Chains A and B, each alone.
Chain A
Amino acid sequence: MNAGEETVLDARGQRCPLPVIRLARLVHDRPDVGVVVLLATDPAAAHDVPAWCRMRGHRFLEARAEGDHSAYVVEVATPSTAAAGR
């Protein structure tokens, strides 16, 4: 992956657990995706994205309020690291 390159995933308007499912699906399809920025309006995402990162061995970088939605920034671990974290 290239440093500084982010993949944006727009889950605005989707209710839990869809934002986390879409994030997981993206990471499943592209394990080397690197840094993902998930945009979501669902308030549960604020708790569930960090919890998913912990359960899956990924790194939760930050949550930013951006007007009517929030952006959750996740650094996806390489498959070998993720397996070790589980």
Chain B
Amino acid sequence: MVSHDPGTNPRPDAPASSKPPSATPLPTSGTTPQPPRDAFAPASRHLLDAAAGPLHPVARETLHAAVAVGWADPDRLHAEGRRARALLDRSRQVLAAGLGVRPGEVSFLPSGPAALARAVDGVAYAARRRGARTVASAVEHSAVLVPGRSRAAAAGDASLLAEVPVDEAGRVDLGAWAAALAVDGTVVAALQSANGEVGTRQPLGRARELAAARGVPLVVDAMASLGRDDVPADWDVLVGDARSWGGPPLGVLVVREGVRWQWAYARADVEHGRADVTPWVPLALAAAEAWQQTASTRADDAGTTRSLVTAIRAAASSVPDTEVVGDPDNRLPHVVTFSSLYVDGEAVVGAFDRAGFAVASGSACTSSTLEPSHVLAAMGVLTHGNVRVTLPLPAVSPTLADDVAAFVSALAPTVAGVRAELGVAGL
């Protein structure tokens, strides 16, 4: 989860294989291109908010080629349709192999958040005669929490969604998790592999044991970690977003064989009964290409970004009255968040932007609502003056190390400048 999480707040008016898959070229693979120069990203820009892209350069080429050969509806019986179907099947095989699952367990949905909401719906619907209660951590993606709250409100029963507290690092409280699962009528448990805002990994193994002991399937949101961290092993239903591994926006829903899962509006012929539309094939191909590219360099990329994030954490920690939040070690390699006292989130994002840095923020003033990030709030850490960095894949941003070095140098003076403007220096 990442800056594409719009938050949980109402509107203002209201085991996979650790070895990389073989880098078999996809049918449309071209020659290895140079990373493209984006007209909107002149050389002086430093990309430090890569939660939503950009595309891996090879996936970009694949997408371009696939638009020409894979445009047809794969459900059609003519030659163009059959070709699109073959390309879609191939994309599914690549992702299934990468995730260590069977192709029949993998469905494509229009987006990661849509796939996550569907994942929960399918477990709940299949168990509707036993209950309707969902257990989720308080830092789950809004695609879990917002519909869950809405269902509970509609039923007039707040107990239908249990939001399990987290510690100051954002890690779910396993004692409270076990207690929430023990309540009668609990049919779904949802936990992220790691939090996309603060980077903290969740204890999936133990969380799934506790859920399994109650006969409750575990939905794991891996939208922030796939392609960046090891593929999670402890799940019954897994959700990803191709953007996290350098692909286009595309939801991936994996339902492990044997897990009771049913979508109320399923048409059996579409994506194994888990989606209402067949995906646009070029997106699936680009997602598969990005997976192959990213998986082949994942260990090196993780090491590179982990040490860069460590440098940012050290620099931010040395800024007066600034807290770096999230677990310092047991975390995603490429995400770091910090908050500075007396700093306006909108002002600090603007100051970094003028200095050439694209960064995100979980502060209230930077969102469309007055509410700050539900993740920071649940952790009990400062929500104002928040800056979030999501490092791009090294293949996407060859200047990454230089960008981070520049950010480390700019960090303290930029925060000090915002404080001086607000007249809060020395408070």
One of A25, A28, A43, A50 near B380 (C-beta < 8 A): A50
Among B343, B382, B422, max chain A CB count under 10 A is at B382
- Chain B residue with the shortest CB-CB distance to A23: B427
Chain A interfacial residues counted at CB < 8 A:
19
Q: Is the CB of A43 within 8 A of B427?
A: no
| A and B contact pairs by CB, cutoff 8 A, 9 listed | A16-B345, A16-B365, A21-B424, A25-B424, A28-B427, A48-B382, A48-B384, A54-B380, A55-B321
Which of chain A's residues have a CB closer than 8 A to the CB of B377? 46-47
Q: Which residues of B contact A46 (CB under 8 A)?
A: 377
CB distance from A78 to the nearest CB of B (A): 17
Known A44-B364, A52-B382; judge A20-B370 contact (CB<8 A): no
Would you call B370 and A15 a contact (CB within 8 A)?
yes
- Is there a chain A Cβ closer than 8 Å to B376's Cβ? yes
* A24: nearest chain-B partner, CB-CB: B427
A52-B340 Cα distance, complex, nearest whole Å: 10
Q: A82–B387 Cα gap in the complex (Å)?
A: 26
B71 within 8 A of A: no
Known: A28-B427, A47-B383, A51-B380. A17 touches B342 (CB 8 A): yes
A42 within 8 A of B: yes
Q: Compute how far the CA of A12 lies from the CA of B342 in the bound complex, rounded to whole angstroms.
A: 17
Question: Are the C-beta atoms of A17 and B343 separated by less than 8 Å?
Answer: yes
* Contact residues in B for A42 (Cβ distance below 8 Å): 364, 370
* Closest 7 pairs (CB-CB, A-B): A17-B384, A51-B382, A24-B427, A16-B384, A44-B364, A47-B377, A44-B372
The smallest beta-carbon distance between A9 and chain B, in angstroms, is: 14
Report chain B residues within 8 Å CB of A25.
Answer: 424, 427
Q: Which residues of A contact B345 (CB under 8 A)?
A: 16
A16-B372, A20-B341, A55-B323 known, 14 other contacts, Cβ within 8 Å: A16-B383, A17-B343, A17-B384, A17-B385, A24-B424, A28-B427, A43-B372, A44-B363, A47-B372, A47-B376, A47-B377, A47-B381, A48-B384, A55-B341
Q: Does B371 contact A (CB under 8 A)?
A: yes
Q: Which of B323, B342, B371, B424 contacts A43 (CB 8 A)?
A: B371
Number of interface residues of B (CB under 8 A): 25
**Closest residue of A by beta carbon distance from B377:** A47
The answer to whether B427 and A51 have CB atoms under 8 Å apart is no
- Shortest A44–chain B CB gap in Å is 5
Bound CA span A15–B422, Å: 13
Interface residues of B in 412-427 (CB under 8 A from A): 422, 424, 426-427
State A54–B321 Cα separation when bound (angstroms): 11
Task: Return the CB mask of A43-80 against B: 1 if under 8 Å, else 0.
Answer: 11011101110110000000000000000000000000
Q: Which residues of A contact B365 (CB under 8 A)?
A: 15-16
Q: Is B341 touching A44 in the complex (CB atoms < 8 A)?
A: no
Contact A16 B380, beta carbon cutoff 8 Å? no
Bound together, the chains give a CA A21 to CA B426 distance in angstroms of 11
Give chain A's interface secondary structure class. helix
Taking a contact as CB atoms under 8 Å apart, the answer to whether A17 and B344 are in contact is yes
Question: Which residues of B pack against A, CB within 8 Å?
Answer: 321, 323, 341-345, 363-365, 370-372, 376-377, 380-385, 422, 424, 426-427
The CA-CA distance from A28 to B424 in the complex, in Å, is: 11
Query: Which residues of A are at the interface with B, using a C-beta cutoff of 8 A?
Result: 15-17, 20-21, 24-25, 28, 42-44, 46-48, 50-52, 54-55
Task: Name the A residues within 8 Å of B426 (CB-CB).
Answer: 28
Contact in complex: A44, B422 (CB < 8 Å): no
Inter-chain contact A44/B370, CB cutoff 8 Å:
yes
Residues from chain B with Cβ under 8 Å of A47 in the complex = 372, 376-377, 380-383
Question: Residues of B contacting A24 with CB < 8 Å?
Answer: 341-342, 424, 427
Q: Is the CB of A21 within 8 A of B370?
A: no
Please measure, in the bound complex, the distance between the C-alpha atom of A48 and the C-alpha atom of B424, giving whole angstroms.
16
Q: Is the CB of A44 within 8 A of B384?
A: yes
Choose one: A20, A50, A54; the contact of B342 (CB below 8 Å).
A20
Q: Whose C-beta in chain A lies nearest to the C-beta of B424?
A: A21
Q: In the complex, A17→B381 CA distance in Å? A: 14
A51 to B386, CA, bound (A): 13
Complexed CA–CA distance, A44 and B376 (Å)? 10
Question: Which A residues lie within 8 Å of B380 (CB)?
Answer: 47, 50-51, 54
Contacts of B364 in A (CB 8 A): 15-16, 42-44
Residue of A nearest to B347 (CB): A17
Q: Chain B residues near A51: list those with CB within 8 A.
A: 380-383
How many Å lie between the Cα of A21 and that of B341 in the bound state? 8
- A4 CB to closest chain B CB (Å) equals 27
- Residue from B323, B382, B384, B385 with most neighbouring chain A CB atoms (10 Å): B384
Interface centre among A42, A47, A55 (most CB of B within 10 A): A47
Give complex CA distance A21, B370 in Å: 17
In the complex, which residues of chain A have a beta carbon less than 8 angstroms from the beta carbon of B323?
A: 55
